[in-house]
Amino acid sequence: MSELEKQKKLLKDVNRILAHQKELERLRGEKFNIFSILKMETKENATHSAFLGELLNPKGSHLQGNTFLQLFLETIGYEEHNQSIAETKPIPKLNIETAWLKLEKDVGKTDVKNATGGRIDIYLVDKKGTSISIENKIYAGDQPAQIQRYVNHNKTANTVYYLTLNGTSASKESKGTLIEDEDYYCISYRSTIIEWLEKCLKEAVELPILRESIKQYILLIKKLTNQLTDRKMEKEITELIKSNYHSAKAIESAIWKVELKAAESFVKSITDMIKAELSEKEGWIVRMDKDLGTSWSGIDISHKNWDGVRVCLEGQSKIPWSNTIYGVHAHKGTWNRNQIKENLKEVEHLTSDFKETAHWPYCKTKFSFRSNEQRERLFNPPIIKELAESTADKMIILATQCKEALSKNTRIKK
């Protein structure tokens, strides 16, 4: 059997196993998830911090007091962490009897130079001021000195946790010289949160609404961490790969190229639709980056009167494998940010859900190809065509609505 024939057979066998898995998902009802239906599955604060916070809050609507908080502290090993910190600096233990919870706790104006301030996603504090700070990351990147700033808050009575999908460490930009498992602790949705939620589920077994809500959330976390698979299926695929390792590696090495090519075709279709509407004769310049395999690449729309301000679509960091945002791009170090926002305040398209960063006075997520399930859309012609059309429409509308306003901005003199 030739190598190509081996690869075809391997793919055929895997597809057979996946088809069986999909049938099991249908029978178990795993595809029906309220968080996914409402498009809330990756919203860090509106979905994840809110849900986790409600369970952790002793005064939460679950009416179970500090039961879930106690289970959480046991699961993350808070007692051990507290004791290890106390070896180098005296630190009290959170009193769960008097503890209360605050989401997006404001701890002062962000000061990167002195590593202070910011907003802590999930904040627990007791009557004496002992606190636990949880930085919650689903897909967002770290902010400058973020973990340093939170460690420096309430420094003699605060324990900091960094929560990510897979328990990854904070970036150098965020943690500086801080040491993981000494100055702060990493926990994950994949293991820590699921383990805790399953404990909560047992406590809620006689409370049907709460029980089913927790079940739905567990399914969401398993989906985000690629754990919605049957163990038998995993074993079958593992055995197939072991017995066809060379063919499996050849397929693996080609996958990213196929994904990149599909993403480039998708973005080119968006670019072509925009160019069809925004004519060069009217002063528009529409440009697509040649290599979407590079970070921060995408589509730029500019106008001859904008003097460098752009309407952009950009990967965070690479479109084929990440979130993609769109909006108005004008770095605050180059442009008068207050002037830009004043000029754009009447632009209808910018009135809701747009955020501000150093590079973007206005930006929001348009789509994401982070997960395998999301990237599958690249190979579904009707779905990807609809996504391309809706993306092009939004960018055209934004550019045309900003046409006059962005002609009035001035650069900051160096």
Ordered mean pLDDT values, 10 residues apiece, the chain (414 residues): 71 66 58 66 83 95 95 92 62 91 94 93 96 91 91 93 92 92 93 95 93 91 76 72 79 87 97 96 95 94 93 94 94 89 90 86 92 89 95 96 87 65
Is there a single domain that holds both residue 162 and residue 38?
yes
d(CA 326, CA 314): 6
Closest CA relative to residue 203, chosen from 33, 54, 65, 59:
65
Q: Write down the H helix ranges in 278-345.
A: 337-344
Domain membership of residue 413 (yes or no) is no
Residues 6+ apart with CB under 8 A from 13: 240
DSSP state of 356: -
**pLDDT at position 231, please?**
64
Is there a single domain that holds both residue 235 and residue 277?
no
Is there a single domain that holds both residue 146 and residue 220?
yes
Is there a single domain that holds both residue 53 and residue 192?
yes
Q: Report the run of H or E that residue 246 belongs to, with start and end.
A: helix 245-277
Is there a single domain that holds both residue 301 and residue 191?
no
Domain membership of residue 101 (yes or no) is yes
Residues 6+ apart with CB under 8 A from 113: none
For 191-207, the three-class secondary structure string (H helix, E strand, C coil) is HHHHHHHHHHHHHCCCC
Closest CA relative to residue 330, chosen from 338, 321, 318, 322:
338
**pLDDT at position 143, please?**
86
d(CA 135, CA 338): 30
Closest CA relative to residue 319, chosen from 357, 274, 270:
270
Q: Report the run of H or E that residue 249 belongs to, with start and end.
A: helix 245-277
DSSP state of 335: B
Is there a single domain that holds both residue 13 and residue 141?
no
d(CA 242, CA 234): 12
Is there a single domain that holds both residue 214 and residue 329?
no
Is there a single domain that holds both residue 276 and residue 236?
no
**pLDDT at position 55, please?**
96
Domain membership of residue 295 (yes or no) is yes
Domain membership of residue 249 (yes or no) is no
Number of H helices, E strands in the chain: 14, 10
Quick one: CA torsion of 391, 397, 400, 403, rounded to 10 degrees?
-80
Domain membership of residue 250 (yes or no) is no
Domain membership of residue 248 (yes or no) is no
Instruction: Report the amino acid identity of residue 265.
Output: S
d(CA 164, CA 52): 13
Q: 216-235 b/e with 16+ CB inside 10 Å = b?
A: ebbbbbbbbbeebeeeeeee
d(CA 266, CA 256): 15
**pLDDT at position 26, please?**
63
**pLDDT at position 27, please?**
52
Range of the domain at 147: 34-224
Q: How many CB atoms lie within 10 A of CB 244?
A: 18
Phi, psi at residue 137, to the nearest 5°? Answer: -125, 120
* This model's pTM is above 0.75: no
| Cα atoms found within 13 Å of the Cα of residue 374, Cβ hemisphere only | 20
d(CA 287, CA 329): 14
**pLDDT at position 44, please?**
77
DSSP state of 63: -
Instruction: Report the amino acid identity of residue 162.
Output: Y
Is there a single domain that holds both residue 271 and residue 312?
yes
Instruction: Report the amino acid identity of residue 77.
Output: G
Domain membership of residue 299 (yes or no) is yes
d(CA 221, CA 219): 5
Is there a single domain that holds both residue 217 and residue 304?
no
Is there a single domain that holds both residue 20 and residue 59?
no
The order of strands in the sheet holding 131-136 is: 100-106, 119-125, 131-136, 158-164, 185-188
Is there a single domain that holds both residue 22 and residue 109?
no
Q: 281-295 b/e with 16+ CB inside 10 Å = b?
A: eeebebebbeebbee
Cα distances (Å, whole numbers) of residue 131 to 64, 160, 295, 355: 21, 9, 37, 29
As for how many domains the chain has, the answer is 3
Domain membership of residue 412 (yes or no) is no
- Residue 187, SS3 per DSSP: strand
